[in-house]
Amino acid sequence: MKHRHSFSFAVIIAACLTLLGCNQETAPTDSAVVSQPETFNWKMVTAWPKNYPGLGTSAERVAERINSMSNGRLTIKVYAGGELVPALEVFDTVSRGTAQMGHGAAYYWKGKTDTAQFFTSVPFGLSAIEMNAWLHKGGGLALWEEAYAPFGVKPFAIGNSGMQMGGWFNKEIQSLDDIKGLKIRMPGLGGEVLNRLGATTVNLPGSEVFTALQTNAIDASDWVSPYNDLAFGLHKAAKYYYYPGWQEPQAVLEMIINQDAWDSLPADLQAIVTEAIRAGNTDMLDDFTWNNARALAELKQADVQLRRFPDEVLQALQVQSTDVLEELAAKSELNQRIWDSMQAFQKQITLMHEISEKELYNWRE
């Protein structure tokens, strides 16, 4: 009996050791079948020089934010204008899928779709905070998505310069006669307005503006506002700095994403990208608001000659702007819906801002 009990106990111990060994062998197998999160490596092409203040730096910060928020699951390499493709080929590059993301301004692509011009700036139109409200609360973004859908591109607002300046001029503008024959760099709807008043407009990337002004290839140029204009040294190439920025009372910067690339992302990464871009949208406007004030003070110390456009000129610009916008709206059913929506909101918000922002500004020192 003693030997029989010893034998049974030994069998039990052996069985336990065998089961333990099996568990140790199968544990790694079980953990091995747990899939690792898929990672994505994207390219972002931009219309700006490398690390250009406000614009180029915004693209870099958004890419860094997405990489951090996704814990490296989505990494984005940023290319300045001209590094991978020319600055004005960003839209085509993203549409083809050569790069997954693009950072630029919608009115640069008016040759692809004239509808795009509504989504940068409208002469005598919405301010920056008003445009953000219309896009994100008033249905503007959905209309923008509809306009870009045929190109396989998904748009986002990635920032805003706020109200811009009227531009740099090598001669004074004292009357409408001074507009006639003027050769000026001005993209978008503002350029079309000036054409109708007798100017000749060209579309140049920002990196070429200084040389064009300095060599008298052009007589004048808009660019952005003191922050960016100072960075390019435009005050060294032209004598007169005009205001107000009638042509761009604000300017939306856009992030575009190839639709197929967007659809390939899991829902959590789509959410991360969306929120990172929304944060970038606020960050850029803060950046411009803060630095425009500092840069303007520096430009005034450099003896820049600030000039206000004469009332006669502004009135003529406003009349022509109305005609240009109504003609653009009439080109398609979508254009008309966009313009109607934007106008309706502008009329409504003006009632509010007449008794708030405008009234306060009139009384501030």
- DSSP-based three-state secondary structure for 319: helix
Q: Is 104 left (phi over 0), alpha (psi -120 to 50) or beta?
A: beta
Q: 203-217, 305-319, 339-353: which has the minimum mean pLDDT? A: 203-217
Residue 187, pLDDT score: 87
pLDDT digits (tens, 9 = 90+) for 49-89: 988 999 999 999 999 999 999 999 999 999 999 999 999 99
pLDDT digits (tens, 9 = 90+) for 4-41: 444 444 444 444 444 444 444 444 444 445 578 899 99
Q: Is the pLDDT of residue 173 over 60?
A: yes
Question: DSSP states of 61-72 as a string?
Answer: HHHHHHHHHTTT
Residue 195, pLDDT score: 96
pTM, two decimals, is: 0.87
Q: Is the pLDDT of residue 162 over 50?
A: yes
pLDDT digits (tens, 9 = 90+) for 219-259: 999 999 999 999 999 999 999 999 999 999 999 999 999 99
Q: Do 285 and 204 meet the contact criterion of CB atoms below 8 Å apart?
A: no
């899991």: which residue's tokens? 266
pLDDT digits (tens, 9 = 90+) for 89-146: 999 999 999 999 999 999 999 999 999 999 999 999 999 999 999 999 999 999 999 9
Residue 15, pLDDT score: 44
Q: Do 271 and 146 meet the contact criterion of CB atoms below 8 Å apart?
A: no
Looking at domain 40-161+250-291, what is its CATH homologous superfamily?
Answer: Bacterial extracellular solute-binding protein, family 7 (3.40.190.170)
